[in-house]
Structure 1
């Protein structure tokens, strides 16, 4: 924006205001032409066939008055230097506003500043940004953050902050960022994550958590289908359909079990010694006895020297 125009627009506090943006209990006097020029979202609401175009009032949800004030200041000047004084959390909120309200310039400016700051961030800050980048599926930013964490904070990758990640981001973090850490340490953080986030409380059958196979749900479904087929009768059109809450619960349970299985399968147990496995996963309740025996066998076979052939062959 031209230098002479930015201060002019910034000074338009209430002069010539022709619309109002209401956020919570606070009202912002704004100008349709500025909001519509900055955002396709506001353009559609103010100039389209919506009640807002008639009343001139826009009620916004999922944003605080403080963040909208910062957003308003930006679109009235497009001075990205104003972003320098904001906290990282504010920049992420402004990025979300730009993404939601279709203002690409503010998302670009916020992302550039966050990327610049990332080089000097501690690990907790980088992990927060890592989750933020995953939420918006920004692959290039994810790669940048992954590289920074692995090169600058390799010794602390399995810190307590990891336990606060959402499940989808956690499994990505464990299998990519923390892949260089010893298997025993990765297993411990997985075990702790599952415990404190309640992923195991609804999974009572340990067979459903076996790392080699998980067929119990498929068997149950096949059995139910067979029973239904055997007991099949003509439908009663007089009866209203009944919602199956138990089926919904089973699906959620299966998703949890699949998530647990995916995490456990991300560990290469054969990289552990027998003692490491025994004192760690061997004493854990996450694995079945069968899985433990299978793993111990694989560990032993990997470390056992080849046995010489006894006797001699006969022609």
Structure 2
């Protein structure tokens, strides 16, 4: 029954969406089925583990070691032939990387299992794999359209386009703003470290990264953390100019107006908006190139 359902789903369009593909792109039914099977295995196993842990907590079954009931999302993804296409990092993986000696509580395991499980279920229902030139690609949702956005892997900043878009969708920040800050802060170098100790692409200080709950040495988490911090400043000060000032000089110096006398911050407030225009064009071009021209 499971194989029959996956077979049917592999041939179905995502519900309510009109599929757009690159001109030479072709849907790979076999790859799509294989990917959906992986996601279904994550969903089924995580739900089973969650049920087993809950029943053990109320004493209905014998206790099973917690480590055997954790989310299998990381395990499946690491072995997947599509792992290079995936941009997701589970909350469980983040927690383990932050401190491998800290044992997760039952409720942490349940939360991670459910989060990863239902994320996998959504992917199983909506994701399709296409191939172009023999290379598999995941169909992504951009502006409510399932398209494949091709980012220049040789570009120092746009090679992080996938991570930038993920952070943009999560925190509602224009991806061009995130890219502009990356160029201004680190030049797109994930290993950049300032004399003051700021780390990575968007130059997070260790204390700030800890407060944000991200690993600053992981590029994806660093971009997410920097975007979250910018979103907090934007919400606090109400304008992008002031949010940029707070990002560079610190919110305290914005509150007491000292940022007005810091030349680095003044340059920052001029440079980043200029770079935003550049990256708005690049993101638009990436999306446009992924959507075939419609013929009348």
TM-score class, shorter-chain normalisation, is under 0.3
Normalised TM-score (structure 1) = 0.22
Greater relative contact order (CA < 8 Å, ≥ 6 in sequence):
2
Q: TM-score, normalised by structure 2?
A: 0.23
Q: Highest Rg: 1 or 2?
A: 1
